[in-house]
Amino acid sequence: MGRTLAEKVWDDHVVRRAEGEPDLLFIDLHLLHEVTSPQAFDGLRQAGRPVRRLDLTIATEDHNTPTLDIDKPIADPVSRAQLETLRKNCADFGVRLHPLGDVEQGVVHVVGPQLGLTQPGTTVVCGDSHTSTHGAFGALAFGIGTSQVEHVLATQTLPLARPKTMAITVEGELPDEVTAKDLILAIIARIGTGGGQGYILEYRGSAIEKLSMEARMTICNMSIEAGARAGMIAPDATTFDYLKGRDHAPEGEDWDAAVAYWKTLRSDDDAVFDAEVVIDATELAPFVTWGTNPGQGAPLSANVPDPASYEDASERHAAEKALEYMGLTAGQPLRDINVDTVFVGSCTNGRIEDLRNAASILDGRKVANGVRMLVVPGSVRVALQAVSEGLDKVFTEAGAEWRHAGCSMCLGMNPDQLAPGERSASTSNRNFEGRQGKGGRTHLVSPQVAAATAVLGHLASPADLSDARTPAGVR
Amino acid sequence: MEAFTTHTGRAVPLRRSNVDTDQIIPAHWLKKVTRDGFEDGLFEAWRKDENFVLNRPECEGASVLVAGPDFGTGSSREHAVWALQNYGFKAVVSSRFADIFRGNSLKNGLLTVVLEQKVVDALWELTEADPTVEVTVDLQARQVRAEGITADFELDENARWRLLNGLDDISLTLQNEADIAAYEAARPAFKPRTIAA
């Protein structure tokens, strides 16, 4: 019987398999950041253990870093101490680190791919649930806890039980205005926040094959929001073209050997998935969330749902709680929801294409009065590219704030937060209660919807913008 | 890791589904660099409401949390497990846990027990009717017991063995040093490296 993509990558990394034990898997790439690593390094120190494979380990600073005044000392002493702890740990153990101010600094899941470290057929882990992002390359990539971070630092392996596999097949052409973000939000709404639990998802089908690498990363990034262990997309010419020439991509004979291997990384025609979901791409529309988990979403043209319409008691109760927290009324059109803040950024939508998409809508337009818009590039490299294309000017001329790279308002560990009761349209990945600041209310959206929402002041898609404008020449 | 064999204590009924790890421990607590001191951050936003179940005097000292489905979704933060343990919880019962949270809990000796929702419902009703009732979570017998309730639960034998003996995963893995070294020696040259070896 044939094997799925996930099974192939899994099998290629089994160090030890024994009856009654989880498989011991080798880890090709371990990404570190300041939040989930300090206790792991402490564990190594206490046990007198070194980092086993410094050449497969890399760290950056992202969660705590400020997006303003980065040349000044970090104001919050606790954040500063955490960053200093990472710097000390990396220095003591010899780990490559890209700290704040370094040209390769940025959100860890943006940095790995842009350096060419994330490659097809590799196993990638990080103490961060959005590690699933790297699955866009046909890597098996998943988030781990701090105990596992310590385990990988010490052994470069992890004992793991193999998850089941689920195919998410998306056929047809995505309509205009419908982005990767809309697609993944629709998938999560369809299968639920627990729908992927225990599975590795494989996104496939003609709609997926047409997506750019960055759009594929947006899809895989949010696999965890459907409860999945990981999300993957089979590597193809799009993947190889993206990687070719990057800092850590193979060269010469190594490149040829790598591509020959990467081309084998496809689910066999007779492979059997444990579950399959089929989505018709042509039926999709811009999608937004109305509730407090990423599964509580609907097309922008819909109304806020009535909790009474849910048959399942726990879903009904969850919807009631969500509407109460979000300050929404059943039946209210989603387009009537006004926002205070618009956030463009994060490991979900903080890459250059996302910024281009948002800028193309904002070009020649203004952010609505009373709306604050933050644009936070995913990495310093993304920021530099955006500046070279003049996107920063488009944002600032529209009235948005152009910030330094980091996780920023996605989770509000730095000063970029919502005030209690404030409402955002956010290109990030989680609309949990208080995620973007205590009492803050989050609607997850695509970069295009974020930009149109910023202009109109209420949830909107670019098609709602009928105004004349004079673009300054951005695509 | 502390071994877990059996535990008996009072239970807290948490009638909520999709309790994500941002609710269990908000992000601003994640700036700490230790594994302890997270107890005041546990369910921080909800505890501001005096009617929240943990604030009820009868729940003080309870050590078993009985939660709705999809407990521990979202972020991989192990701080969520530490916060529950720092507060005094020894076990969490739910009909479904998020994968990463479950893995983290079992690595720290916080027993996460999966029971059918109808058993969870029965535990909620029981503990709401009488908050002094005690619930036993018995890993040796793989069973949860309370007045009028006996429910078996599953946990894979390897995880159970590690918990019962409080074994350290890293030491176990390092016993396979020869296998790891052999795998490393056979890795293809084209695999990425962050620094020159």
Average pLDDT value over all residues in chain A? 96
Among the residues of chain B, which ranges form H helices? 21-24, 44-47, 79-87, 99-108, 117-129, 157-165, 169-174, 177-185
Q: Which residue has the tokens 């990539």?
A: A141
Q: How much is the pLDDT for A313? A: 87
Contact A36, B77 (CB under 8 A): yes
Query: What is the CATH number that goes with domain B6-185?
Result: 3.20.19.10
The H or E element containing residue A357 is helix A352-362
User: Nearest by CB to A82, which of B33, B158, B179?
Assistant: B33
Q: How far apart are CA A121 and CA A119, in angstroms?
A: 6
Distance from CA of B110 to the nearest CA of A (A): 13
B186 touches chain A (CB under 8 A): no
Residue B39 C-alpha, separation from nearest chain A C-alpha, in angstroms = 17
At A472 the pLDDT is: 56
Task: Return d(Cα A24, Cα A428) in angstroms, integer.
Answer: 33
- CATH code of A289-464, in short, is 3.30.499.10
Q: Kindly state the DSSP code that residue A304 receives in the 8-state scheme.
A: P
Q: Residue B82 and residue A325: Cα distance in Å, rounded?
A: 27
Q: How far apart are CA A54 and CA A418, in angstroms?
A: 38
pLDDT tens for B160-179 read: 999 999 998 999 999 999 99
Look at B191 and A28 and tell me if their CB atoms are within 8 Å: yes
Q: Which residues of B11-34 are buried (b: 16+ CB within 10 A; e: fewer)?
A: bbbbebbbbbbbbbbbbbbbbbbe
In whole angstroms, give the CA distance from residue A292 to residue A310: 16
Strand order in the sheet with A123-126: A96-98, A57-60, A29-32, A123-126, A140-143
Question: A69-73, A116-120, A149-153, B129-133: which range is least confident on average?
Answer: A69-73
- What is the DSSP code (8-state) at residue B130? -
What is the per-residue pLDDT for B2?
81
Q: From the CA of A475, how many Å to the nearest CA of chain B?
A: 35
Q: Which of A13, A23, A26, A129 to mutate to test the interface with B (most CBs of B within 10 A)?
A: A129
Asked if B175 is an interface residue toward chain A (Cβ–Cβ < 8 A), one would say: no
The sign one gets for the Cα dihedral A321, A327, A330, A334 is negative
Return the amino acid letter for A460: A
- DSSP assignment string, A161-229: PPPEEEEEEEESPPPTT--HHHHHHHHHHHH-TTTTBTEEEEEESHHHHTS-HHHHHHHHHGGGGGTBS
| Stretch A362-383: mean pLDDT | 98
Answer for the pair A311, A318: CB distance below 8 angstroms, yes or no: no
- Do β-strands A164-171 and A275-280 pair in parallel, antiparallel, or remain unpaired? parallel
Chain A residues with CB-CB distance to B107 below 8 A: 145, 147-148
Beta carbons of B183 and A26 less than 8 Å apart: yes
pLDDT digits (tens, 9 = 90+) for B73-106: 999 999 999 999 999 999 999 999 999 999 999 9
Q: Which residues of A touch B167 (CB under 8 A)?
A: none
pLDDT for position B127: 97
Confidence of residue B196 (pLDDT cuts 50, 70, 90): confident
**Shortest CA distance to A319 belongs to which of A304, A333, A334?**
A304
- Give helix A380-388 / helix A352-362 axis angle, nearest 10°: 40
* B179 to A144: CB separation less than 8 angstroms, yes or no: no
Nearest-by-CA chain A residue for B23 = A433
Q: Is the pLDDT of residue A274 over 50?
A: yes
Residues of A in contact with B179 (CB under 8 A): 15-16, 24
- Which residues in chain B are contacts of A58 at CB distance < 8 A? 194
Candidate from B78, B100, B192 with C-beta closest to A122: B192
- Report d(CA B40, CA A239) in Å as an integer: 46
Which residues have CB under 8 Å from A84's CB, separation 6+?
A: none
Contacts 24+ apart (CB under 8 A), B143-146: B144/B93, B144/B113, B144/B115, B144/B119, B146/B11
Q: Give me the sign of the Cα torsion angle A50, A87, A65, A247.
A: negative
Tell me the average pLDDT of chain B: 96
Interchain pair B77, A47: CB under 8 A: no
A119 vs B contacts (CB less than 8 Å): 191-192
What is the token pair recorded at B9? 């204590």
CB contact under 8 A, A293 and B20: yes
Residues of B in contact with A78 (CB under 8 A): 31-32
Cβ–Cβ < 8 Å for B122, B86:
no
B25 contact A CB<8A = no
CA distances from residue A384 to A128, A366, A390 in whole angstroms, order as listed: 25, 23, 10
Q: Which amino acid appears at position B165 of this protein?
A: N
Residue A432 has pLDDT above 80, yes or no: yes
Q: Do the chains contact at A96 and B194, CB–CB below 8 Å? A: yes
For A345, the 3-state DSSP assignment is: coil
**Nearest by Cα to A452 from A427, A428, A473:** A427
3-class DSSP assignment, residue A283: helix
B194 and A433 in contact by Cβ < 8 A? no
Dist CA A102 CA A81 (whole Å): 18
pLDDT in tens, A122-147: 999 999 999 999 999 999 999 999 99
CB A135 within 8 A of CB A231: yes
3-state secondary structure of A326: helix
Predicted pLDDT at A475: 42
A317 contacts B33? CB cut-off 8 A: no
- Round to whole Å and give the CA distance between A114 and A332: 42
Domain ranges of chain B: 6-185
Question: B72: which chain A residues are within 8 Å (Cβ-Cβ)?
Answer: none
DSSP B163: H
CB distance from B180 to chain A under 8 Å? yes
User: pLDDT digit string (tens) for B57-77?
Assistant: 999 999 999 999 999 999 999
Residue of A169, A166, A263 lying closest to A207 (CA atoms): A169
Q: How many CB atoms lie within 10 A of CB A473?
A: 9
A314 pLDDT higher than 90:
no
Among A148, A221, A229, A264, the strongest candidate for a mutation testing the B interface, having the largest count of B CBs within 10 A, is A148
According to DSSP, the β-strands at A123-126 and A140-143 are parallel
Q: What are phi and psi of A327, to 5 degrees?
A: 65, 40
Query: How sure is the predictor about A319, in pLDDT bands with cuts at 50, 70 and 90?
Result: very high
Mean pLDDT of the A21-31 span:
97
Which positions in chain A touch B15 (Cβ < 8 Å)? 317
DSSP, residue by residue, A53-91: -GGGEEEE--SS--SS-TTSPPS-HHHHHHHHHHHHHHH
The bridge status of strand A14-16 relative to strand A23-26 is antiparallel
Identify the CATH number of the domain defined by range A5-275: 3.30.499.10
- CB-CB neighbors (< 8 A) of A56 in chain B: 193-194
Cα–Cα nearest to B113, from B24, B2, B4: B4
- Which residues of chain A neighbour B108 with C-beta distances below 8 Å? 147
Percent of chain A with pLDDT over 70: 99
**Token pair of A299 as six digits:** 């097309």
Q: Distance from A340 to chain B by nearest Cα, in Å?
A: 22
Residue B144 Cα distances to A16, A152, B106, B115, B116, angstroms:
34, 34, 17, 9, 12
| β partners of residue A287 | A299
The residue ranges of every structural domain in chain A are: 5-275, 289-464
Q: SS3 for B23?
A: helix
Query: B143-146 and B149-152 as β-strands: parallel, antiparallel, unpaired?
Result: antiparallel
Distance from the Cα of B113 to chain A's closest Cα (Å) equals 16
Q: Residues 116..145 of B with a Cβ closer than 8 Å to A: which?
A: 117
CB contact under 8 A, B28 and A117: no
pLDDT bin (cut points 50, 70, 90) of residue B149 is very high
Label residue B109 left, alpha or beta by phi (over 0 means left) and psi (-120 to 50 means alpha): left
ipTM of this predicted structure: 0.95
Q: What is the pTM assigned to this prediction?
A: 0.96
What pLDDT, on a 0 to 100 scale, did the predictor assign at position A467?
Answer: 72
